[in-house]
Amino acid sequence: TEYVGGGELYDLVNEYVKLPEQVVRIYVAEIALAL
């Protein structure tokens, strides 16, 4: 496994009621690159 700074996406989603758009863009881009 690789180190991911900032924790897991699950933890981030639980922290916010609604994720900021900029945060969503970053995670969607990272997921797309991983595919």
What is residue 1's predicted lDDT score, i.e. its pLDDT?
A: 56
- Number of structural domains, the chain? 1
What is residue 15's predicted lDDT score, i.e. its pLDDT?
A: 83
pLDDT confidence band for 3 (50 / 70 / 90): low
Tens of pLDDT, residue by residue over 4-35, are 677 777 887 888 888 889 988 988 998 899 88
Q: Which domain holds residue 28?
A: 1-35
What is residue 27's predicted lDDT score, i.e. its pLDDT?
A: 85
Instruction: Look up residue 9 and give its two tokens.
Output: 């996406």
Buried b (16+ CB within 10 A) or exposed e, 1-35: eeeeeeeeeeeeeeeeeeeeeeeeeeeeeeeeeee
Which residue's structure tokens are 């991983």?
34
